[in-house]
Amino acid sequence: MARLLEAGKIVNTHGLRGEMRVLPWADSPAFLTQFHEMTLDGTARKAAVRVQNTCVLVKLDGIDTLDEARQQVGKIVYINTAQAKLPEGALFVQELLGMTAVANGAAVGKITDVISLPKHDVYEITGEKTYLVPAVKQFIKKIDRDAQTVEVELLEGMETDAN
């Protein structure tokens, strides 16, 4: 199930030949170097990507001058998730958002946010009630991409006062 995913924002230009500085929306700027194609303004383009400090420098086909690159500042670049090399069982946060959370065979809500904490993520599940569920094996029993469901174990105290 390939889809486009926001990869980062063009924040500046670099040099005179159309390179652009992109602030990546990934765990590491190096993650984006695996992509040889990015989408800008709905058009997929060949991409050359290299890391520079906390940003990546991106050269897209068809953007060859400083002026052309300047016109792209502020825009979002996208990657195709089918081209991503992820560790076994890993998925993008955006893939989780909107999945149905199921506890004891019944839907309890949708995943509406993923909160990153130092030790592990926490899934916010919103339905009739709102739950904060640690993203660890004890509470996340199964993620089914095809069915768009996440089987969770809910315990007393996971419910919030958000609703």
Measured distance CA(114)–CA(133) in Å, rounded? 10
Helix runs in the chain, H state only = 66-70, 93-96
Contact 152, 125 (CB under 8 A): yes
The predicted structure's pLDDT at residue 2: 57
Please, what are the domains in the chain? Answer: 4-83 (2.40.30.60), 93-152 (2.30.30.240)
One pLDDT digit (tens) per residue for the chain, 163 residues: 458 888 999 999 999 999 999 999 877 899 899 999 999 999 999 999 999 998 999 999 999 999 999 999 999 999 998 888 877 777 778 788 899 999 999 999 999 998 888 888 899 999 999 999 999 999 999 998 889 999 999 888 788 865 5
pTM: 0.68
Residue 102's CB is within 10 A of a number of other CB atoms, namely 18
The predicted structure's pLDDT at residue 1: 47
